[in-house]
A and B are shown apart, each in its own frame.
Chain A
């Protein structure tokens, strides 16, 4: 009797799961900022996509960069906002398709910041100080700054007293501001946003420098996702137009002027840099 009930319930659950999977697009993002901020940023974009695609869109918060890569490769999510480096990792470990990127992502930069009390004004003065990258898997918070530092013959582990990973760009600012580390590096776009929003105490954190430009973020889907759906998603992103006030709100939250198509070849440079920096084998 009980066993019969249980198995019926199990079947119903399984059926519900299957029917769900058809109409639901599960989206995630590398947690390059605080989870609450990610959700805030995504909400209007999610509603827009629901309308355009005619299906439910769900945001799956993830605490760690590499976990997004694993989840995308494991088909646990359908689409993700990836950094250049996480995209390279995901395409090495499975089949993924990059759809669009922000126009800004083709010339992205990182900012070096320093605790104001340290009195440091040049990168070379950071010798023997403590330094924070963002997440180890971050392009703008780790890979590219490391790559450019190495070009200047700075090997972080030897040059700095200690190297830490704050995990996210806004965390890096909090760390430098509190004096937990002397200096750090983060995504230029997040830095600009925090400065505009007045969330950086300029008496505690100073800008030290900017890296040369490189390719970064994109929206990527898993390779096994329906090709038509892939195209629909791409079109939805490309249709976003800053002249439309509703669209402008979405673009502003994404800190994009517009979205443009992208292709895997754009990230060959990142792959080469990752190999040179020893982060990719």
Chain B
């Protein structure tokens, strides 16, 4: 490092980076068939424009509006009862697996071997529960046990249960240890240590996170219908397939309203936790919402009882993954396609997010700020699956549409985060350059970006870990990758093939997570 030489010691790696980055991007573009120029193509734009123009006026057909209302209620009910199930599943798992309650962490007792083995098993279970996307859970349950909203509730319960289990455990681990250690030293049980020491400390955070998850669950349950599991997605799926723009328009409006409403409720609820009266109101509200949800869903469940025997038969067939060579080759190409779609989509979103973040933060012209912020909200508020369906319309079937959908949706997510980073970056370096006469772009590149970039890259990598799961399900709307193969396998009742595909999804998502964690550590 301490070299007097005029030769850059990092020359080789910089050169490699400068050459490899565009080459990798180009290779990914070639493989996925994503050509940005195609977007500027008149035909493509025309097709998309005709469809989008059809959104106006939104459909106001009586029966359709009636259906919309009914499915909105179903969506809310699915999300609420699904989240309740997730809490019932996640909390005990968190209590069993959290290191914050382990006696060896709290008072240095040697842990029992069988107990450690059980914990490892439960942690692995949590990974599988949250590693399989909620939509895939729903698809599996619809195939295994039949129609309706029950599979959707169970799917949310399982996927979110896995997620809550992990996050609850982490929240407990981040609390100060003293009170818990004192109780544990006096011989209190695991549950007692939780109830008397950790719960009082962590309650607000636990509740606040659960409320936030409820907000996510609403977004998730709104697209569950894409796999036949009830709710608004059912209508959206049909309207999109039939290319009925007016109906899609109405649904989009409804969707935006629903998201805004839940975000509002979520914000108010999280503020309410801090006061006694607010807490009581929140508890009452939660219980009545849950009761209403179950009342609403109950008739549907009664009419289509859950087929437990079918579930068992399904599990037997399912638990024998296909490992035939030719099929594995096919899965391998699906894995590669999914990987490239997620990576390219995230990389393009990095660029898109950066370009949108500048005007959305305090760096651009003031009049541009509000519209760009609105655009960002729109991009990230519209569900990824819907972007997938629109992208298929614009670019045709296949992975290219997946790339576009991910790029657009993630640009919205990253744009907002990037703008926050910019607003938190001290402007000194940039200002110093400006006062020595540097141009706007040069100030940005020399003064601002080097400070914001590490954070931006970390955000993008985080998002990539999420996008690999989304890329795996975008195939459900025809955007290539493993999702399309999975949907086909499950439609044809080739359950052992489906098992292999889900295994591949899990491995892929685990691999990307590990790689991304390694990269982030190198960056930090």
Instruction: Pick from B307, B478, B490, B491: contact of A164, CB below 8 A.
Output: B478
Once the chains bind, are B491 and A65 in contact (CB under 8 Å)?
A: yes
Of all chain B residues, the one with the shortest Cβ separation from A35 is: B238
> Which of A168-176, A187-195, A241-249, A251-259 participates in binding chain B?
A168-176
Once the chains bind, are A163 and B307 in contact (CB under 8 Å)?
A: no
Of all chain B residues, the one with the shortest Cβ separation from A274 is: B492
Once the chains bind, are A63 and B228 in contact (CB under 8 Å)?
A: yes
A binding-site residues for B, Cβ under 8 Å: 13, 17, 26, 34-36, 60, 62-67, 69-71, 73-76, 89, 92-93, 130, 132, 135-137, 161-168, 170-171, 174-175, 178-181, 279-281
Query: Known contacts A136-B488, A178-B51: does B396 contact A74 (CB below 8 Å)?
Result: no
Once the chains bind, are A166 and B43 in contact (CB under 8 Å)?
A: no
Once the chains bind, are B234 and A280 in contact (CB under 8 Å)?
A: no
Known: A64-B142, A66-B143, A67-B228. 16 other contacts (CB 8 A): A13-B298, A26-B303, A60-B147, A63-B234, A64-B491, A66-B492, A67-B143, A74-B146, A74-B309, A161-B398, A168-B241, A171-B243, A179-B47, A180-B47, A180-B243, A181-B396
Query: Known contacts A67-B142, A179-B47: does B242 contact A137 (CB below 8 Å)?
Result: no
Q: Which residues on B sit within 8 Å (CB–CB) of A35?
A: 238
Q: Which residues on A sit within 8 Å (CB–CB) of B397?
A: 130, 132, 162-164, 180-181
10 A-B pairs with the lowest CB-CB distances in the bound complex, closest first: A74-B307, A164-B397, A64-B228, A136-B491, A162-B398, A171-B241, A162-B397, A63-B228, A74-B146, A76-B304
Count A-B contacts at CB 8 Å.
116
Q: Which residues on A sit within 8 Å (CB–CB) of B147?
A: 60, 62, 67, 70-71, 76
Q: Would you list 26 pairs from A and B whose C-beta atoms are within 8 A, ordered by A residue?
A: A63-B225, A65-B491, A66-B491, A67-B143, A67-B146, A67-B228, A70-B142, A70-B144, A70-B147, A73-B310, A74-B145, A74-B146, A76-B146, A93-B493, A130-B398, A135-B491, A136-B487, A164-B397, A165-B488, A168-B242, A178-B51, A179-B47, A180-B396, A181-B397, A279-B492, A281-B494
Of all chain A residues, the one with the shortest Cβ separation from B308 is: A74
Query: Known contacts A74-B307, A137-B491: does B225 contact A34 (CB below 8 Å)?
Result: no
A165 to B484, CA, bound (A): 9
Q: How large is the interface on B (under 10, 10 to 19, 20 to 34, 35 or more residues)?
A: 35 or more
A63 to B145, CA, bound (A): 15
Q: Which residues on A sit within 8 Å (CB–CB) of B228?
A: 62-64, 67
Q: Which residues on B sit within 8 Å (CB–CB) of A175?
A: 243
Q: Which residues on B sit within 8 Å (CB–CB) of A93?
A: 493
B binding-site residues for A, Cβ under 8 Å: 43, 47, 50-51, 63, 142-147, 225, 227-228, 234, 237-238, 241-243, 298, 302-305, 307, 309-310, 392-393, 396-398, 478, 487-488, 490-494
Query: Known contacts A13-B302, A73-B310, A180-B396: does B146 contact A63 (CB below 8 Å)?
Result: no
A180 to B228, CA, bound (A): 23
Of all chain A residues, the one with the shortest Cβ separation from B495 is: A281
Once the chains bind, are B142 and A17 in contact (CB under 8 Å)?
A: no
Once the chains bind, are B310 and A74 in contact (CB under 8 Å)?
A: yes
Q: Which residues on A sit within 8 Å (CB–CB) of B478?
A: 164-165
A70 to B392, CA, bound (A): 29
Once the chains bind, are A178 and B47 in contact (CB under 8 Å)?
A: yes
Once the chains bind, are B393 and A180 in contact (CB under 8 Å)?
A: yes
Query: Known contacts A34-B238, A63-B238, A279-B492: does B143 contact A76 (CB below 8 Å)?
Result: no
A135 to B310, CA, bound (A): 23
CB of B302, distance to nearest CB on chain A (Å): 5
